[in-house]
Amino acid sequence: MTRRYSALSLFKEGLAGQTGWKQAWRSPEPKPTYDAIIIGGGGHGLATAYYLAKNHGITRVAVLEKGWIGGGNTGRNTTVVRSNYYYPESVELYGLAHRLYEGLSKDLNYNVMLSQRGMVNLCHSTAEMEIGARTVNAMQLNGIDAELFSSEDVRRVAPIYNFSPDARFPVFGGIWQGRAGTARHDAVAWGYARAASRLGVDIIQNCEITDFIVEGGRCRGVQTTRGAIRAERIGMAVAGHSSVLATKAGFRLPINSYALQACVSEPVKPILDTVVLSPGCGVYVSQSDKGEIVIGGGLDRVPSYAQRGNLPKLETVIAGLLEMFPIFGQLKLMRQWAGIVDVVPDSSPIIGPSPLPNLFLNCGWGTGGFKAIPSGGTLLANLLATGKHNDISRPFDLDRFASGRLIDEAAGSGIAH
Amino acid sequence: MQLFPCPFCGPRDETEFHYGGDAGNARPDGAEVPIESWTNYLYLRSNPKGTAREIWVHMSCGEFFVMERDTVTHKVLSSTALGGEHAA
C-alpha cells in the first residue's frame, strides 16, 4: 500500500503493476458537528483546512464544496505565481504565498510543478519605464526580488516578441521578477486536499450551502443539500459567489462578480520559456509544460455569474496576443473558458471577520487568487483558530471600506481590469 | 456578440455599452451622513445572481438608462430610460 509519494514508491509501484496506489483523499459522510467548517473546496478553502490542521492542530474540520474540489477558479486560472506588488501590505501577503509555494511540493508531498521561469511586465514608452523603475524600487525596498529590464534584456528572455520598428507597442524594457513562474493548478488543489485529508479533515463534495444557522445573533452552522452541519467557526472562500452567500448571511460586500476568461492553443514545441505580460496589449501569456500557449487578458465588462466568456473580449485578447507575438498567428485555439471572479474597488482581497459573528471571510481576490492560495489559507486558518487577525491579515479587513484605508493595487494585476 | 437594447437607439452591440452600477443606489443627502451610509453607497453592492436592475450608459448616444438583466443567462428583461419615459 503506497501512501507516501517518492521516486522509490513510483519504482516499486511500477514493479507491482500500479496496484497499491491509495485514493488520494477520503470522501466521508458529513458529521453533524465540527470544530470548524470551511465553505468552498477550491485552493483557498483546502489550504485553509490544511493549515488549520497543520499549524493549529484543529483537525475536526469539514470542507464543503458544492461541486468538485478545484472545479471553480482554481481550475480556470492561468497558473501564474508572482509577488510583484507595490504596497508593503500586499508584499507581506503575496510574499508569504510566494515563499510557501517554493516549499509546497515538499510540504504537501505532492508535486505542484512550480516552475520559476521568471515573468516580465513590459513597458511600452519612456513614461511607462519611469513607472516601471518606481515599481522596481518599491519592490526592492520591500524585500522582493525585482529588476528593471532594458529592451535588450527583454529580447534575451522573449526573442519571439514583436521587436519590429513598426510594432504598435514597442518594448522600452520591463519589470522582471525572476522568482515568478507557473504551477500546476489542479495539483495545488489535489495536493492540499490529500494532505488535509491525511491530517483528518473531511472533504465533502456535492454539498451546497442553502442557508446559515443563526442563533443568538451568531453563526452556528450551515444548512446544506446534505443536511445541517454545525460548528462554532465558519470560514468562507467562495470567490465569485461571495455575494450570494453574504446575502444569505444578511450582509452585503464591496464586490461585483465578473467573468474572466482564458484560452489555450494546441500544444507546440517549446518556444516561450517565461511569462510575458503586456499592459498595452492587455494580455499575459506563457507556455504550459504540455506545450499549450496559455493566454489571459482583462475582464469581460458585463457583470456575470455565467462561467463562460463573451466574444468581444476574446477578440481583444487574441488581437493583443498577435500584436505581441505575430508568430502565433498560425496557432489554433483549443479551449476557451471563464471563471467568475470577485472584483473589489481597490483590487485587494478581503480577509477577516464578517458582520455575522463566527463567520469569517476570505474573498475579493478578483483576478489574482491562485498565486495567493498558500497565504489565503494560512490567514483564514489563523482567523478561524484564534478569532483574531495577525499583522499580515489586519490591513485587509472589511473595515477598510468604512475607514478609507484602501490598498489600491489596481496596477498590481498589470492589466487594466 | 450580444445586442443590448438602448431605449433611444434600439438594439446595439454590447461593446457600445458601459456598466454603471446598481440601480436605486441613491447618494446620501444631508449635513450629517453616518459613515455606514457612505460605505453602503460608495462600496457595498447587491451583486445578485439572477435578476439584476442596473444602470448602464450607451456610450454612442451618451444616455444613461436602467436595464433589467439576468446575470446567469445574460437575457435582457427590460430597458427603460431614467425617469420612466421612452421605454423600448
CA distance A248 to A210: 8
What CATH number has the domain bearing residue B84?
3.30.2270.10
Q: For residue A276, which of A290, A296, A299 has the smallest C-alpha distance?
A: A296
Distance from B80 to chain A by nearest Cα, in Å?
18
Q: Do A305 and B71 touch (CB under 8 A)?
A: yes
**Domain-embedded: residue B39:** no
Give, in words, the CATH class of A119-179+256-343: alpha beta
The dihedral through the CA atoms of B44, B47, B52, B57 has a sign that is positive
CB neighbour list of residue A103: distance below 8 Å, 6 or more residues apart: none
Neighbours of A405 (CB within 10 A): 12
pLDDT (0 to 100) of residue A1 = 57
ipTM exceeding cut-off 0.90 for this assembly:
yes
| Residues of chain A contacting residue B74, judged by C-beta atoms under 8 Å apart | 302, 304, 306
pLDDT (0 to 100) of residue A97 = 98
| Residues of chain B contacting residue A416, judged by C-beta atoms under 8 Å apart | none
pLDDT (0 to 100) of residue B88 = 43
For A267, list phi and psi in degrees, rounded to 5.
-70, 140
Q: In the predicted model, is pLDDT for residue B68 greater than 70?
A: yes
Site of grid cell 458582520: A355
B35–chain A Cβ distance below 8 A for any pair? yes
Range of B72's domain?
1-24+48-88
Q: In the predicted model, is pLDDT for residue B85 greater than 90?
A: no
CB neighbour list of residue A254: distance below 8 Å, 6 or more residues apart: A344, A345, A350, A364, A398, A401, B43, B44, B45
- Pick from B35, B46, B49: which is nearest to A402 by CB? B35
| C-alpha count within 13 angstroms, C-beta hemisphere, residue A289 | 13
**Domain-embedded: residue B31:** no
Q: What is the percentage of chain B residues whose pLDDT exceeds 70?
A: 94
How many residues can be counted in chain B?
Answer: 88
- Pick from A243, A254, A311: which is nearest to B1 by CB? A311
Site of grid cell 514583436: A162
Q: What is the pLDDT of residues B18-60, one digit of tens each?
A: 999 999 999 999 889 999 999 999 999 999 999 999 999 999 9
Hey, is A68 helix, strand or coil?
A: coil
pTM of the model: 0.95
Running DSSP on this structure, what letter comes out for residue A220? Answer: E
Residues of chain A with CATH 3.50.50.60: 26-109+185-254+346-403
| Residues of chain A contacting residue B41, judged by C-beta atoms under 8 Å apart | none
Beta strands at A209-215 and A147-150: parallel, antiparallel or unpaired? unpaired
CA distance A266 to A141: 41
CA distance A1 to A284: 43
pLDDT (0 to 100) of residue B84 = 52
| Residues of chain B contacting residue A243, judged by C-beta atoms under 8 Å apart | 45-49
Structurally, chain B folds into a number of domains equal to: 1
| Residues of chain B contacting residue A354, judged by C-beta atoms under 8 Å apart | none
Residue of A nearest to B44 (CA): A254
Q: For residue B49, which of A316, A257, A106, A65 has the smallest C-alpha distance?
A: A257
**Domain-embedded: residue B54:** yes
Q: What is the pLDDT of residues A282-325, one digit of tens each?
A: 999 999 999 999 999 999 989 999 988 999 999 999 999 999 99
Q: Do A254 and B19 touch (CB under 8 A)?
A: no
Q: Which residues of chain A have pLDDT under 50?
A: none
Q: Do B72 and A247 touch (CB under 8 A)?
A: no
| Residues of chain A contacting residue B36, judged by C-beta atoms under 8 Å apart | 402
Candidates B22, B47, B51, partner chain A, best to mutate (most A CBs within 10 A): B47
Q: Report the CATH fold assignment for A26-109+185-254+346-403.
A: FAD/NAD(P)-binding domain (3.50.50)
Assigned C-alpha cell, A11: 519504482
Sheet containing A359-363, strands listed edge to edge, beginning at the edge strand earlier in sequence: A202-204, A61-64, A36-39, A233-236, A359-363, A350-353
B51–chain A Cβ distance below 8 A for any pair? no
Q: Do A401 and B36 touch (CB under 8 A)?
A: no
Distance from B83 to chain A by nearest Cα, in Å?
23
pLDDT (0 to 100) of residue A415 = 75
The dihedral through the CA atoms of A182, A186, A189, A195 has a sign that is negative
Average pLDDT, chain A: 95
CA distance A349 to A239: 10
Residues of chain A with CATH 3.30.9.10: 119-179+256-343
